[in-house]
Amino acid sequence: MLISQILDDAETIRVVARNGGKTRIINGARSVYSLAMEAARTGTGLVALIERKGFGEAVDLDAAYKKGRLLSPINHPDPAHLHLTGTGLTHLGSAATRDSMHKKLSTDGEEQLTDSMKMFRMGLEGGKPAKGQTGVQPEWFYKGNGTMAVAPGAALLSPAFAEDAGEEPEVAGIYVIGDDGAPFRVGFTLSNEFSDHVTERVNYLFLAHSKLRNASFGPEILIGELPSDVRGTSRIVRDGKLLWEKPFLSGEANMSHTIANLEHHHFKYSAFRQPGDVHVHMFGTATLSFADGVRTEAGDVFEIEAKDFGLPLRNPLEIEQPVKVAVKAL
């Protein structure tokens, strides 16, 4: 089942679902967030809860997308309680790109093993632990709160000071935290973990700066287990013409970590188990246009699609105006 959120003509949020057929409004669902919290509080599976509520009229989801009526597939009434985070070097093809960005040379000219490659090897050796055991922790980063989340179809804003504005096609896990602090997975969605790869390449310690950018996810959430072999396409369109296109892979068959291991190492921190919070946790990628020498420009459109996740995720790129910040003493 796929679920998403739209705004109707009266500016009211409608939660809609489809399961191989027409997209229909879920009766009595005020938002995906409220629906997920109800499922957590009642101990009811999300699909079972949706089916119990029943369905109303059919909607044209693609038409709503074109009209700009699609929302992020989950949000929080207070954006400060939605967390955008991610993890990298988790995919079997991801080390080469990152390693080339972080190469170091010893004094005699021989390449040393980079931190990226060390982290990647750790994942290969310990990212898929036996049942009941804890695997090695992955790389982790923070992208911001809900104020940094961009709806499908809306513009990804790159700061004026950014050195690069590049896409990262990823699968993200969507979670809510129950009243007792227990994390619940709502499902999985496509995401664009938008980053500044030039800044990251200057120095690996700039990774934290490079990730403090917008992110978009959706348009639809896949409820249930993540397919083991996700195959999608990432592309950039400029002036209506295809500029760059490449397939990407995800799912555990193409990863060095299990989803359970990535989830454990995120939610082991009590700060991420605060009742009522929402988490969008991105699982990494091995495919970047930046690695192929592409330099994006304002007006470019990113498009990420994979058949398991419904409609593609599209976002144009905009560059923000420079902002001068001055701190005043109180």
DSSP 269-311: SGGG--TT-EEEEE---S--SGGGT----TT-EEEEEEGGG-S
Is residue 109 pLDDT above 50, yes or no? no
Locate 130 and state its tokens. 């036996």
3-class DSSP state for residue 214?
coil
pLDDT at position 115 is: 82
Q: Give the pLDDT mean for 184-204.
A: 96
Q: How far apart are the first and last CA of the chain?
A: 53
3-class DSSP state for residue 91?
strand
User: What are 81-96's pLDDT values in tens digits?
Assistant: 999 999 988 998 765 5
What sign results for the dihedral spanned by CA atoms 78, 187, 272, 86?
negative
Q: Residue 244: in which H helix or E strand, if any?
A: strand 241-250
What are the angstrom distances between the C-alpha of 207 and each of 33, 66, 101, 133? 31, 35, 11, 29
How far apart (Å, rounded) are the C-alpha atoms in residues 215 and 274? 22
Instruction: Read off the DSSP letter of residue 53.
Output: H
Is residue 103 pLDDT above 80, yes or no? no
Locate 197 and state its tokens. 């790869």
Instruction: Read off the DSSP letter of residue 111.
Output: B
pLDDT at position 97 is: 57
Locate 86 and state its tokens. 């991610």
How far apart (Å, rounded) are the C-alpha atoms in residues 63 and 66? 5
H helical segments located in 12-156: 32-42, 46-53, 61-66, 94-101, 115-126
pLDDT at position 95 is: 56
What are the angstrom distances between the C-alpha of 30 and each of 7, 76, 203? 11, 12, 45
Give 221's strand partners. 3
Question: What residues contact residue 323 under an 8 Å CB cut-off, 6+ apart?
Answer: 160
Closest of 308, 266, 68 to residue 174, by C-alpha: 266
How much of the chain exceeds pLDDT 90, in percent? 86
Peptide bond into 79 cis (omega under 30): no
User: What is the pLDDT confidence band of residue 185, given thresholds at 50, 70 and 90?
Assistant: very high
pLDDT at position 260 is: 97
Give 191's strand partners. 170, 217
pLDDT at position 108 is: 47
What are the angstrom distances between the C-alpha of 181 and each of 15, 22, 144? 25, 36, 21
